[in-house]
Structure 1
Amino acid sequence: MDTLAAWLADHVDPAMAAFHFLRPVWLWALVPAGLLVWVVGWRDNVRRRWRGSIAPHLLDALVIERRRRWRLRPVHLTALLIALGAVAVAGPTWEQERPPFVEDKAPLAIAIDLSRTMDAIDVSPTRLERAKLKVKALLSHRQGGRTALYAYAGSTHLVLPLTDDSKLLQTFVDALETGIMPRPGRDTVQALKAIDAALAKESVPGTILFLTDGIEPAATAAFKAQVDGTGSQPLVLAIGTEQGGPLRSGASGFQEDHGQRVFARMDVAGLQAFKAATGVPLATFTPDGDDDVAWVQRRVQSHLARKDTGTATRWKDQGWWFTIPIVLLAALWFRKGWTVRWVSALLLGVVLQAPADPAWAQGGARGWHFIDLWLTPDQQGRRAFERGDYAAAAEHFADPMWRGTALYRAGRFAEAEQSFARVDSPESDFNQGNALAWQGRYEAAAARYTQALARRPQWPEATANLALVRGLIPPKPDPKKDDDQAEDPNLKPDQIQFDDKGKAGKQQVQMASKQTADTWMRAIQTTPTQLLARKFALQQRSAKDKSP
């Protein structure tokens, strides 16, 4: 056997050398298939049946030998179908399949370099803007994969934690600018350690993508240890050119030093030396395509697949291919000589036309239909839902969550809330909060969002919605305030005041009682870029206070 295996490994295609059956016990069904043909042939042997009753010399004269050529008989067709079915169920395979949903569950942390050199215009429009475009292209390739966003220069800051909301990620990617970093310079080692520590909490292996125009030589040892260890996989996508370009400053100006423009050139030789010394996968951006983005995505997937080898990798069951010849051979049963019991078929049709649910037959909400023979109520509801007919979908759905979703889409929020309430889960609490918010019942909606967060902490959507409805709750009247005191007619409906010192920690929010969420959000004039700049400055100040 060892010699045969060695010969197969040397002379047979590797895929076929790995050929085996996942459930070989089903191959025993080939035995009755062969016995069936032999038994029928033995039973139809005329000489055998009359051998004991007629003398051999007379039997030779009485038996007429078949001179027709061999033809396909029902027994042969039956045996062949049994054999094909046995092989199909046995699960022939010769190829391993990648773990399912690798792309969806592989976490990726994108670290964008916001050091001053990223404003160089050797890459149009700038290195940073080109890096943003690459991130957006990567998000579209990931199709909902969980992605985190970091910014780093002399310090490292989390922009967004792992999320599958690509639109939210793109919003904050657009907000990144080199001027928002509180500490100049470039500390890639700090970024690597901070991001790896965050990804270490994940249950599946992650990848860290650095979009930068250079890595300091002092970071070589840290990246080498990262590659040799069991932590997250680092990748580097270099943005820039060896010729370099001037640094943009402001909308149309350039940074100057003693009257001369400051140029930034990418150290290509240094990056190649870094790649050789650490083994970190490194690629330069492609200006006229997304080959670099596809390279990143392949690395993310292969890293997870490699880590999952032996646990999540499965052999691909190829038995389903046998269903095609089985169906074709089964069609041969409908041939001349076979009859159909039309009376039985008619009776069967009458029985099938009878209502399946007595309640429907007695004038229920929905009568019986022929489609009920083939699709469940939930399947029929899903078909109507995908067509956009939410009212009809709500009438079909039996699942309360799906029925509530259809009612919600149809604008029947009170009914949707009642349907969601039949399920005890954080998702049900969240959906009830949405339905209550659309009814204007903001306090009840806030209670549902709070309950959802208690059962599923750090839920971004629930946190955002809770903050929104709390802002829409009208303030309670102050009993100490004189009842006849008139309100200042010049008071703005929205005023949000921040404590710049970071010690008082109070936000004074004045809301109009009939204000909509859209009006409230439009009244906030702070841009995402300003929010990030302030957040990073506070984080840097807090880090200084904690340092000895």
Structure 2
Amino acid sequence: MTGILIAIEMFHFLRPWFLLLIPAAALLWWYLRHRLGHQNLPTDTVAPHLLVALTVGQQRKGRLMPIDLVAVLMVLTSLGASGPTWSRVPDPFVAQTAPLVIALHVSPSMQATDVQPSRLDRAKQKIRDLLAIRAGARSALVAYGATAHSVVPMTEDPNVLQPYLEGLQPDVMPDDGNDAGRALDLANDILADEDAPGGVLFVTDALQSSDVAGLSSQEQISVAILAMLPQGKGDAGLDAVSVPVAQVAIDDGDIAQLERALNAAYRRALAEDGKQPWDDKGWILAWPAALLVLLWFRRGWTMRWSMVVVLCFGLQIPGGVRAEGVADWFLTADQQGQIAFDRKDFTRSAELYLDPMHKGYAQFRDGQYPEAIATLSQLDTPEASFVQGMASLRNRGYRDAIDAFQLTLDRDPDFPGAAHNLVLARKILEYVESTREQSDTGEHTGEGADDIVFDNEDARGADTQIQGREDSIGLLTADQWMNTVDTDTGDFLRQRFAIEAARQ
């Protein structure tokens, strides 16, 4: 189901009683129209041939009149006041993109060069583009041939997938084949641990007829296929499957199309989730109403109606409205902040937001951890204290993080992630304090950063700074150590896939 169909299905009015004003506006329009169009003329006191010459406007009965404009404005006002909506307000703590498992077909056929530079290389490029679009969303990678293997589990960091994606070549697979059914079963197992409906994207150049029914019958998840075939070349299985199939393109049109299709079930789940309020879209109708108001400046049209509208709008303008730029004429500071946040411009978003919750979260995303903690301290919600805890962790204030996560649980014992992060913060603090105690006994000297300072509220060990030893002999530098590590992910995947295939 597409996003438009979901919006139509979810469409409703938040304040439907305002719709009762529409019949009243229609009745008023009919009465005044009828009255203006059937005025009785004094035929008994004026000669007929003079009456025709002296009467103005009788030829305009069927043309547009001021009352028509008033009626349209009343209808638009009623619709806007009724609160039309078809989506919920985005939750800044929840990714607006569905969890996705990318199933890449790795086989000799994918090395064909009819799609430059090759089908497999172009598939990897497309996957990288998709991960860039889905920044911040949870993604996993599966490789399949005759067998299916989990390459990278669900992660929010697309950089984790990059080296493993590059290491996928046909020679790392235990056997050649094209068993999409096994890949689908593995993807379902991965998505079973997710809190929201997810999707599976198959990147392949062919589909066996035996797998068509399995892919077409999925109801709980969204399935889509990126066909790595040149234009004009088809595949019987890809042509028969009843899921969205996008032909690989030279631009990002195929990726955008698949992203919309895969998010369909997730958007439905977010809309059906009762935690977030519905997003009132009535303001959209203010634009056509404002354009229609301009017609009142035509000569001969009623100006007293426009004065009433101007006065009504003037009474509703709150104090302290900014007018520093053109954007301030049309958008509030929080709306501008949300636009900047959607563009990943967190610095600008933090400057624009007035709402403390959104401002603090934007500061957190921008790395302004002390500022985020100070901003969120104004609120007493579990969401605010949770982000405070995350900011304290990033700022190495582990005790403050523990206090913040504990406060979150006090406010909402079931808040997602708070209990887990509380345990994690305690473990980190315990590790830091243990490291300090070991440093007092001389263990691990010469290792670590050039200058590390820890808090010592529990008085465990001494307040020390660990200085890097420049005269250490026999210790490898970071670059030297990294050069000794085997970075060929292909060899690693080949061995792991062989072990998994043997177990299967």
Q: TM-score, normalization: structure 1?
A: 0.52
User: Are 1:223 and 2:212 counterparts?
Assistant: yes
Q: Is the 8 A contact 2:171 2:494 kept in 1?
A: yes
In the alignment, the residues of structure 1 paired with residue 243 and residue 365 of structure 2 have an alpha-carbon distance, to the nearest angstrom, of 48
Aligned to 2:149: 156
Aligned residue number for residue 201 of structure 2: 209
The 1:127–1:82 alpha-carbon spacing in structure 2 relative to 1, beyond 3 Å, is closer
Q: Is 1:31 equivalent to 2:31 in the alignment?
A: no
Change (3 A) 1:148 1:70: same
Deviations 1:331-378 (A, max 9, x none): 34898999x99xxx9xxx9x99xx97xxxxxxxxxxx78769x989x9
CA contact (8 A) 1:105 1:145 kept: yes
1:189 maps to a residue whose letter is: G
Q: Secondary structure at the match of 1:418?
A: helix
The 5 A counterparts of 1:156-175 are 156-157=149-150, 159-161=152-154, 163=156, 167-168=158-159, 171=162, 174-175=165-166
Q: Is the 8 A contact 1:112 1:210 kept in 2?
A: yes
Select the residue among 405, 416, 423 that pairs with 1:456. 416
Name the structure 1 match of 2:289: 323
Give yes or no for contact 2:223–2:262 (8 Å, CA) kept in 1.
no
Extract unaligned runs of 5+ from structure 2: 1-15, 271-280, 451-463, 469-476
2-structure distance, mates of 1:209, 1:26:
47
Aligned equivalent of 2:434, options 475, 490, 496: 475
Cα distance in 1 between the residues matched to 2:300 and 2:435: 79
Q: 1:67 aligns with which of 54, 79, 87?
A: 54
Structure 2 letter corresponding to 1:475: S
Q: 1:272 aligns with which of 225, 230, 235?
A: 235
Displacement of 1:134? 1.5
On the 8 A contact 2:106/2:173 being kept in 1, the answer is no
Larger Rg: 1
Tell me the number of residue pairs that the alignment of Structure 1 and Structure 2 aligns: 419
The residue aligned with 2:168 is 177
Corresponding residue for residue 374 of structure 2: 418
**Which residue in the other structure is 2:472 paired with?**
none
Deviation at 1:327, TM superposition (A): 0.9
Which residue does the alignment assign to 2:12? none
Aligned-partner Cα distance in 1 for 2:360–2:240: 58
Whether contact under 8 Å (1:205, 1:304) holds in the other structure is: yes
Aligned partner of 1:83 in structure 2 is 71
After TM superposition, the score normalised by the length of structure 2 is: 0.56
SS at match of 1:149: strand
Residues 202, 334 of structure 1: alpha-carbon distance in 2 compared, 3 angstrom cutoff: farther
Q: Whole-Å Cα distance in 2 between the matches of residues 283 and 336 of structure 1?
A: 55
What amino acid sits opposite 1:209 in the alignment?
A: L
**Deviation at residue 424 of structure 1 after TM alignment:** 4.6
Q: Deviations over 1:481-534 (max 9, x none)?
A: 9x6x5456555669xxxxxxxxxxxxxxxx98689xxxx998984989667976
CA distance in 2, matches of 1:147, 1:289: 22
CA–CA distance in structure 1, aligned partners of residues 348 and 133 of structure 2: 34
- Spell out, residue by residue over 1:293-339, the C-alpha distance to the aligned partner (whole angstroms, 9 max, x if none): 4564465467889999xxxxxxx99977852663133334898999x
1:7-31: CA deviation from partner (whole Å, max 9, x where unpaired): xxxxxxxxxxxxxxx9587144232
> What is the rounded CA distance, in whole Å, between the counterparts of 1:398 and 1:29 in structure 2?
38
The answer to whether the Cα contact below 8 Å between 1:224 and 1:278 also exists between their aligned partners in 2 is yes
The 1:122/1:77 distance shift into structure 2, 3 A limit, reads: closer
Aligned to 2:355: 399
**Counterpart AA for 2:56:** R
Structure 1: which 5+ runs fail to align?
1-21, 49-55, 242-267, 309-315, 357-367, 495-510
RMSD over equivalenced CA pairs, Å: 6.4
* CA distance 1:136–1:325, shift in 2 (3 Å): same
**Residue 130 of structure 1, aligned match among 122, 132, 148:** 122
- The sequence identity of aligned pairs, in percent, is 22
Paired with 1:426 and 1:524, the residues of 2 have a C-alpha distance of 43
The alpha carbon displacement at 1:132 in A equals 0.7
Cα–Cα, structure 1 residues 87 and 229, in superposed 2: closer, same or farther, change >3 Å? same
**Offset, 1:114:** 3.5
CA shift, 1:34, in A, is 3.7
Relative to structure 1, the CA distance from residue 121 to residue 302 in structure 2 (aligned partners, 3 Å threshold; closer, same or farther) is same
User: Deviation at 1:210?
Assistant: 2.0
1:69 positional shift: 1.7
- Are residues 226 and 427 of structure 1, via their aligned partners in 2, closer, same or farther at CA, if it must alter by over 3 Å? same
Please give the secondary structure, in 1, of the residue aligned with 2:434: coil
Give yes or no for the alignment of 1:190 onto 2:182: yes
* SS of equivalent residue, structure 2 residue 102: strand
CA contact (8 A) 2:386 2:408 kept: yes
Higher deviation after alignment, 295-304 or 80-89: 295-304
Which secondary structure state, in structure 1, belongs to the residue aligned with residue 54 of structure 2? coil
